Structure 1
Amino acid sequence: MYFDGSVMGLDARAGVVLISQGGNRLRYVICLHFNASNNIAEYKALINGLRIAIELGAMRLYVRGDLELVVDQVMKESSCKTPLMAAYCQEVRKLEGKLRGIELHHIPRRDNNATDSLAKLAAKRDLPPDGVFVNNLHEPSVHIRVNLT
């Protein structure tokens, strides 16, 4: 699985490509209809890709993403600096528990062109080409309560 998220202006979007062992590809555009940072868009791509793979019956995943921060946080090589990032990381961990195995690796941006082009496609809001699925997300996966005392 490849994933990528991006924010340009007010548009947050993401792309996911799932590749079966036989080489079949499923391509997804994810449109985020709420305010999101680039890090959140990346996490949303990862989380949605994992959910889709689990729904399709995947048991083991080899996952590649180009934002080193998200990969390192999930792989416990870097700590989450904010409660929101920690909550998204925890959401990934819950999904990991539904799989027999998962490997997550950082790759250079140039090696993630397929998902980057899907994310850009979402920003255009045109009809997607045949074979590309669209997921519209209208609220974040996690909510953080802030106590103002």
Structure 2
Amino acid sequence: MHLVIELVHLQGCEQEVREAQEGSNEELKNECIMRLSWALVHSKQPEDVQRGIAMLESSLGTNTSPLKLREKLYLLAVGYYRCSEYARSREVVEECLKIEPDFRQAQTLKRAIEDRITKDGVIGIGIAATAVGLVAGGIAAALARRG
């Protein structure tokens, strides 16, 4: 059911963008693109998240307003986080926090990113230690058979 609602929402946003592009109001176009980007990076479909990231990256140079840039960077960081690109997400959210250090959503996202990087690092260390243990055990077993 949620997937159907998400699809309808995305289609509605895409229709808004198409209609806005037919007009000459740049502000309306930008607002529609931001709504679509938001919907895409929050989608459960990885290809939608990638589309949202691409849209946001291509729109970064189009508006120099600090508030708009902050919003774009935040959404971009969310997209990278949802694609498990945690290091890139952290870089982007830090840029966002340079614009507005008190932006609570960005602060929360940064903590989530850092927690995830730490968790993945601990898991990586555990996997490496297990692999080393298996290799050492294999060598010990081979030596025991020889001797």
| Same fold flag (TM > 0.5) | no
Q: Which has the higher contact order (CA 8 A, sep 6+)?
A: 1
Q: TM-score, normalised by structure 1?
A: 0.26
More helix by share: 2
| Rg comparison, structure with higher value | 2
